[in-house]
Structure 1
Amino acid sequence: MQSHSHSSKIISLFVFAALLASVAPAMAQEPAADPAGAADANAQDTREEIDPNDPLFWAKTRDIFTVQKRPFQKEGRFAVSVYGGIIPNNIFEQYYPVGVRVNYYILENIGLELAGSYAFKVDTGLSDTIQTLDRDVPAPLIGDRQVSHSNFGVVWSPFYGKTSFYNSALSYFDMYVFGGAGLVITQTQPDYGDEISTEAKPEGVLGAGLAFYLGDHVSIRGDFRQFIFQKVTGGVANPSEASLGLGWFF
């Protein structure tokens, strides 16, 4: 009897093992959940709902904020800017230039610029003050009074970025440098008692600026220009111009 009971137990174990062996392959063949596939499907649905022309397309699709390619493009376009500024270097006279800049952008970050300005002159009154204190002191010899500047050069924008106002609107901006050459028109008096004449002199120009772009056509520019030309009294004049302008892209 004991032998028969022992044999029954052994048979039962074999039957249980065979059942396990048959169930395991069936479980392995059942399709497993695919969270990655579900995520891809959801991402696909999201991309289909978002306008692909939206500049924030990938940011919205991936739910992250990235620097997108800006929708405002300059390459192949003309721009005209009007501006006003100040040339404050001379303590005896202040100059207030008013001018126009015309740009054509060969590439997105490289453009050509033609600029011209007329400078309004304002006497600071310092010369009269000095002569009032000491009448033996002659009036200062200005030498070259600036009348106008015209120059041509290259604008290079190595950096651009964007700003947001209360997360409601994006505006794009450029930081750029400028280099060129041109002519300065001056009223020249070489020495005391000499007649004042008008001369055109070559000059070099270096500068930098910052431009904000509003919409597809309007820009606001802040510029700094350093002019360099030969003084009639000897040496080199280096007047600096700071200006603010409003531009329109065609």
Structure 2
Amino acid sequence: MFKKTLLIFFVMTAQAFAQTATTPAAKPTTTDSRGSDKLDIKKLENKYWAAKDEDFGVVQNRRYVKAERFYLTGKAGIPFNDAYSTGTIMGLDLGYFLNERWGFELSYDSADMKNNDAVDQFISTYGAIPDHNVIQSSYFVSAIWVPFYAKMSALDKAIIYFDMGVSVGLGNVNYKIAKQEGDESKSAFGYKLGIFQQIFFSEHFALRADLINTWSNQEQSKYYYNYGGNAITGRDLGSKMVNDTSLMIGITYWH
């Protein structure tokens, strides 16, 4: 309310000044000509309090731009929804942005996995290994959309520039089926949905964090082919849609 009152005050003052600033020698003007010089307060108010001006961008000045630039990201992370395995994941992303909103990316991840504590406890208690698959690697081609860009103050000492985006991709997931006679390597078509955020340190470097979900339809099999001296029949357990989720942290170089 104070802003609106102050605006009206300045407008009325300017209008009064304009009406009294004429010289004595000036020719009198008609009502119609003076009317053309008057400010339309209502129109100015409507524009000032408008919800959105189509010619105005929320963040007009981007210090670090992505448009028409390549980038390379080296990253590392962990899976955190695997019921049987634990370990680390290393990866590389190579991408290009067409503009500030849209880009595409090629990604490759390699996993180094081992039995987690739950599997070790199962083996210790029952003397048997549960049926399970182990992720090995994956590669995807993804489309990227970045709807959020912002500037943030850090302790009133510096401005941090960051954005947040979504990646949707198609690719391939390589895995192995744990088997008594030796693990069997397989691959399956996969889908990817990721959410990422990056914080820019300079024109060429940024810190990036990814939360990545992949889905693939993987074959399943019983671990044992011979248990207690008896051959096991019907080892094939069909196929199952498997979701793998990982958190990755990396450094991005922008060219």
Q: Is the shorter-chain TM-score for this pair beyond 0.5, marking a shared fold?
A: yes
Where structure 1 has 5 or more consecutive residues not aligned to the other structure, the ranges are: 1-26, 32-65
**Comparing both structures, which one devotes a greater share of its residues to helix?**
1
**Comparing both structures, which one devotes a greater share of its residues to strand?**
2
The one-letter code matched in structure 2 to 1:29 is P
Q: Which moved more, 1:240-249 or 1:117-126?
A: 117-126
Distance 1:197 1:130 in 2: 22
Q: CA deviation at 1:30?
A: 9.3
The one-letter code matched in structure 2 to 1:146 is I
SS of corresponding position for 2:124 = helix
State the match for 1:104 in structure 2: 96
**Contact 2:76 2:88 survives alignment (8 Å):** yes
Q: CA deviation at 1:223?
A: 0.6
Question: Which of structures 1 and 2 has the bigger CA Rg?
Answer: 1
Of 184, 187, 195, which residue of structure 2 is paired with 1:208? Answer: 195
Distance 1:184 1:159, change over 3 A: same
Q: CA deviation at 1:172?
A: 1.1
Distance 1:101 1:215 in 2: 19
TM-score by length of 1: 0.68
Q: CA deviation at 1:201?
A: 1.4
State the match for 2:140 in structure 1: 151
Of 237, 240, 246, which residue of structure 1 is paired with 2:242? Answer: 237
Distance 2:169 2:59 in 1: 32
The one-letter code matched in structure 1 to 2:74 is V
Q: How do 1:22-101 residues align onto structure 2 when only pairs under 5 Å count?
A: 29=24, 67-101=59-93
Of 83, 100, 121, which residue of structure 1 is paired with 2:113? Answer: 121
**Does residue 1:226 correspond to 2:213, yes or no?**
yes
Distance 2:59 2:95 in 1: 26
**Contact 2:188 2:218 survives alignment (8 Å):** no
For the aligned residue pairs, the C-alpha RMSD in angstroms reads 2.1
C-alpha deviations, 1:32-60, integer Å up to 9, x for none?
xxxxxxxxxxxxxxxxxxxxxxxxxxxxx
Aligned-residue sequence identity (percent) comes to 22
SS of corresponding position for 1:239 = strand
Distance 2:186 2:84 in 1: 21
Q: CA deviation at 1:149?
A: 1.1
TM-score by length of 2: 0.67
Q: How many residues align?
A: 185
